[in-house]
């Protein structure tokens, strides 16, 4: 005696379609053979669940079953019994096993165009002030004659006959129904009878484009500028990708950069180092920045000018200008200068250069020890 279909699904006879479908999904996931290591009992249970659902999901079959029971599907009472339609398991299989078992039916969406990269080299002055520049690059753009459709102007795409416009075809493998992209239309659900001569049915062509790029003040190596929709055009009229401009700042003969700080080295005479004074540093901003030199400054000492460095990218203010002092020993002296230096040397007591005196005192002490 065959089991009652309502009992197989565990629902009442007055259950609505939603309750029946929910019960079927739950039981199908529970007793699916691939989740139970091929258990024969579960396989038989799975088949009976599928047969019961195939009957009760159909209003006409369910009405016949409610009136005549299993006899409704015997010879002379409406033909063969209900057969399991495993195509309804696509969404369940996708939940359990992923999209390899088909997933939701329907044609595939046109894929978006690829994002592109362009490397732009700018000077440190350009990075300071910002600039507008034009770049040229070859990129796939939407075909103008066919407007991206891929079809000869005046003609149209038609539905694929192999997949009936669904974009997918089904193949039965035992208990399973596997869905794959249609090999005839490649998942689009449409085919082109007369491809456009310009793009050969692709819907896009390669073309050298001139693009305007705004480089903002404060850019640094690795700064990325995004131009939305300026990447590769998508096939068959699909949306284009984006273009990413990667900035590279050239080296500078005077300044080095670290973030928003600008570094430079300034040689000064040993008389300026001893007596103090002022030096003028031309900045990238076009201004002359005066740096006060304290008397007795030593080489490698760094002096800082606030707000004279690089602009803050997309922000306010500027970094600092940092000047590293290098005391230069004179190499070309006149006779008078040499005479003055000898007079100075004769008056030295050792207190003029405490670090030097201290070093040699430590050295002598160490050698005696």
Please write the tens of the pLDDT for every residue from 64-74. Answer: 788 777 776 66
Task: Please say which residue of 251, 285, 317 terminates a domain.
Answer: 251
Range of the domain at 143: 111-152+197-251
Looking at residue 327, its pLDDT comes to 95
* 143/221 same-domain check: yes
Residue 353 marked ligand-binding: no
Q: Is residue 67 part of a domain?
A: yes
* 207/277 same-domain check: no
Residue 55 marked ligand-binding: no
pLDDT digits (tens, 9 = 90+) for 167-220: 888 877 666 778 888 888 878 888 888 888 888 888 889 999 999 999 999 999
Average pLDDT over residues 94-120: 62
Confidence band of 104 (pLDDT split at 50, 70, 90): very low
* 68/137 same-domain check: no
* 116/38 same-domain check: no
* 88/207 same-domain check: no
Assess contact for 20 and 9: CB atoms under 8 A: yes
Residue 39 marked ligand-binding: no
pLDDT higher than 50, residue 45: yes
Q: Is residue 52 part of a domain?
A: yes
CATH of the domain at 143: 2.60.260.20
Average pLDDT over residues 30-49: 76
Q: Is residue 169 part of a domain?
A: no
Q: Is residue 172 part of a domain?
A: no
Task: Please say which residue of 251, 278, 295 terminates a domain.
Answer: 251
- Of 87-91, 146-150, 345-349, give the lowest mean pLDDT range: 87-91
Average pLDDT over residues 324-348: 93
Q: Is residue 177 part of a domain?
A: no
* 141/49 same-domain check: no
Q: Is residue 235 part of a domain?
A: yes
The Cα 127–Cα 244 span in angstroms is 17
* 135/232 same-domain check: yes
Q: Is residue 308 part of a domain?
A: yes
* 125/215 same-domain check: yes
Average pLDDT over residues 276-290: 95
* 239/118 same-domain check: yes
CATH of the domain at 82: 1.10.287.110
* 79/24 same-domain check: yes
pLDDT digits (tens, 9 = 90+) for 222-249: 999 999 999 999 887 788 999 999 999 9
pLDDT higher than 70, residue 106: no
Q: Which residue has the higher pLDDT, 166 or 275?
A: 275
Confidence band of 347 (pLDDT split at 50, 70, 90): very high
pLDDT higher than 60, residue 97: no
Looking at residue 103, its pLDDT comes to 40
Q: How many domains does the chain have?
A: 4
Show Cβ contacts of residue 138 under 8 Å, excluding neighbours closer than 6 positions: 206, 207, 208, 209
* 68/134 same-domain check: no
Q: Is residue 106 part of a domain?
A: no
Looking at residue 109, its pLDDT comes to 59
For the chain, the three-class secondary structure string (H helix, E strand, C coil) is CCCCHHHHHCCCCCCCHHHHHHHHHHHHHHHCHHHCCCCHHHHHHHHHHHHHHHHHCCHHHHHHHHHHHHHHHCCCCCCCCCCCCHHHHHHHHHHHHCHHHCCCCCCCCCCCCCCEEEEEEECHHHHHHCEEEEEEEEEEEECCCCCCCCECCCCCCEECCCCCCCCEEEEEECCEEEEEECCCCCCCCEECCCECCCCCCCCEEEEEEEEEEEECCCCCCCCEEEECCCCCCCHHHCCCCCEEEEEEECCCCCCEEECCEEEEEEEEEHHHHHHCEEEEEECCCCCEEEEEECCCCCCCCEEEECCCCCECCCCCCECCEEEEEEEECCCCCCHHHHHHHHHHHHCCCCCCCHHHHHHHHHHHHHHHC
Looking at residue 369, its pLDDT comes to 58
* 267/345 same-domain check: no
Task: Please say which residue of 63, 83, 101 terminates a domain.
Answer: 101
């Amino acid at each position: 005696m065959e089991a009652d279909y309502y009992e197989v699904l565990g629902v009442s006879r007055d259950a609505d379609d939603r309750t029946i479908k929910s019960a079927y999904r739950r039981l199908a996931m529970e007793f699916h053979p691939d989740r139970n290591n091929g258990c024969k009992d579960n396989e038989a249970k799975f088949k009976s669940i599928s047969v019961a659902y195939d009957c009760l999901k159909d209003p006409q079959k369910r009405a016949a079953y409610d009136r005549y029971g299993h006899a409704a599907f015997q010879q002379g009472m409406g033909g063969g019994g209900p057969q399991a339609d495993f195509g309804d398991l696509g969404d369940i299989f996708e939940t359990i096993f992923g999209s390899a078992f088909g997933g939701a039916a329907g044609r595939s969406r046109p894929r978006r165009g690829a994002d592109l990269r362009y490397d732009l080299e700018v000077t440190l002055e350009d990075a300071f002030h910002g600039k507008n520049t034009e770049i040229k690059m070859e990129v796939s753009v939407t075909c103008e004659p066919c407007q991206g459709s891929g079809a000869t102007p005046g003609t149209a795409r038609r539905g694929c006959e192999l997949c009936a416009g669904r974009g997918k075809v089904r193949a039965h493998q035992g208990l399973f129904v596997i869905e794959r992209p249609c090999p005839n239309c490649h998942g689009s659900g449409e085919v082109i009878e007369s491809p456009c001569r310009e793009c050969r049915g692709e819907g896009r062509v390669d073309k050298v484009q001139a693009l305007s790029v705004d480089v903002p003040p404060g850019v640094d190596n690795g700064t990325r500028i995004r131009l939305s929709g300026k990447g590769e055009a998508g096939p068959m009229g699909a949306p284009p990708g984006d273009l990413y401009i990667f900035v590279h700042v050239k080296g500078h003969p005077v300044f080095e950069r670290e973030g928003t700080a600008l570094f430079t080295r300034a040689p000064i005479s040993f008389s300026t180092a001893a007596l103090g004074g002022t030096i003028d540093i031309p900045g990238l901003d076009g201004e002359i920045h005066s740096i006060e030199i304290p008397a007795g400054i030593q080489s490698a000492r760094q002096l800082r000018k606030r707000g004279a460095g690089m602009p803050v990218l997309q922000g306010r203010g500027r970094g600092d200008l940092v000047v590293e002092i290098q005391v230069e020993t004179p190499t070309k002296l006149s006779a008078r200068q040499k005479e003055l230096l000898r007079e100075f040397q004769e008056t030295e007591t050792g207190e003029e250069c405490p670090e030097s005196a201290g070093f040699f005192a430590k050295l002598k002490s160490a050698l005696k020890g």
